[in-house]
Amino acid sequence: MSFDAIQKRLNDLQTKGKLTEKEVSYLLTPKRIHQKEFTLEKDDGSKETLKAYRVQFNDDLGPTKGGIRFHHEVDLDEVKSLAFWMALKTSLSNLPYGGGKGGVEVDPKGLSETELERISRGFIQVMAEHIGPTKDIPAPDVYTTPQIMAWMLDEYEKIKGEHLPGVITGKPLVLGGSKGRSYSTAQGGVYVLEAALKHAGKKLTEATIAIQGFGNAGMHAAHILHKLGAKIVAVSDSKGGAYDANGLDIEAVTAHKEKTRSVIGYAKDVTTEELLALDVDVLIPAALAETITAKNAANVKAKIVLELANGPVTPEADKLLYGKGINVIPDILANAGGVIVSYYEWVQNQMGYYWEEEEVLEKLKKQIIPPYNTMYELSSKEKFDLRTAAYLIATKRILEAAKLRGRV
Ligand code: GLU
């Protein structure tokens, strides 16, 4: 989503939250922007110059934190938006972190393992001086995996000459990763969804769900929800979707996707647009930004939209959905499970002592439900949509820290 759209959202927030112009302008100013280039040597010997970004948006609450994505649509404007959301996300979840984000403009789909490794190491070579366990802590995001985190960690430790596992999170377990991190984005979203369904007087076992996106967030959400007894009627990936009104067998869909690289062909094929318009209780956009827009928001029939992706609903669509009485659980809370368990991973790295999975999950639930309740209460009291309430709580905490530091 463009940073312009975010600016508009904050102008709206200024009126509703009675923020001053100075405060809004402070919130919208990124602290540091690092823009670099590096050369990728491809397997066939040819060379390509790649653009790499790291935006450290706000660090009032602590070191900046946020993932790195590999995608052909990555540009500075997008990374800025994503970094801003990370600052709100960490604040809303009461983490001692600021927000940042990184990216490499590259199409990851055509790359070999060795090329991916060279890109991961190349990113760290140009960014190493700007990151660190008490400075800025990257993590996975779209098309970046635990293996990529491992290469990045290794490159960073080579440059620094010491072991510093807390420089990056989302690592494989054997390199200091946390139990539960691989599916924590989805798990956090499920905890929040359970709370929202409770408020709506609906049981998860009676809910029908459609999930757009079958990557780390969407696929794990499908598995967790399926195991809890919810009916997943449709899932999709970048090629299209699979639909079964009686509910999909998610294990079988995953096996089909592993074999054929897509969910299409498993059941009745549907397009993404058809999936978004299904008459379900819960719609989970779990892929990229700007999926629900002014063009298709009117077709959405779900009662709850759980934003597992970052920025899947545009500001115009937000208004249309709110007008239809649809509850949009905002990304900065719905997908915060990822960064929350990243925080636990970092804590475990800093103390060199590791927790059991049950402990991680119990902590995650205790961390994500209170901000959900605070957001829900504020939205009911002031008649704000959930996003406005979440943004107000998050920006208030950042501003409080900034004021104590004497920055605003
Ligand atoms: N990329 C994830 C996000 O957008 C996780 C960030 C992290 O773990 O630092 O929230």
pLDDT tens per residue across span 369-401: 999 999 999 999 999 999 999 999 999 999 999
What residues are in contact with ligand 1 under a 6 Å CB criterion?
A: 65-67, 89, 139, 141, 169-170, 310, 335, 338-339, 342
What is the C-alpha separation between 118 and 114, in angstroms, rounded?
6
Residues of the chain with CATH 3.40.50.10860: 31-88+99-177
- For a mutational test of ligand 1's pocket, the pick from 141, 220, 333, 368, i.e. the residue with the most ligand atoms closer than 8 A to its C-beta, is 141
The letter for the amino acid at 60 is D
| Stretch 96-121: mean pLDDT | 97
Which class for 7: exposed (0-12), middle (13-18), buried (19 or more C-beta within 10 A)?
Answer: middle
Q: Quick one: CATH architecture of 31-88+99-177?
A: 3-Layer(aba) Sandwich (3.40)
- Which helix (H) or strand (E) segment holds residue 285: the answer is strand 282-285
Calculate the dihedral angle through the C-alpha atoms of 203, 204, 205, 211, rounding to the nearest 10 degrees.
Answer: 140
Q: Which of 101, 231, 303, 365 is catalytic?
A: 101
- Within the chain, all domains assigned CATH 3.40.50.720 are found at 183-334
CATH for 183-334? 3.40.50.720
Quick one: pLDDT band at residue 127, thresholds 50, 70, 90?
very high
User: pLDDT (tens digit, 9 = 90+) per residue, 279-322?
Assistant: 999 999 999 999 999 999 999 999 999 999 999 999 999 999 99
Q: Report the nearest-CA residue for atom 7 of ligand 1.
A: 339
Q: Is 160 a catalytic residue?
A: no
3-class state of residue 28 by DSSP: coil
pTM > 0.95: yes or no: yes
**Ligand 1 centre from 344 Cα, in Å?**
13
Residue to mutate (ligand 1; options 70, 167, 182, 342; most atoms within 8 A of CB):
342
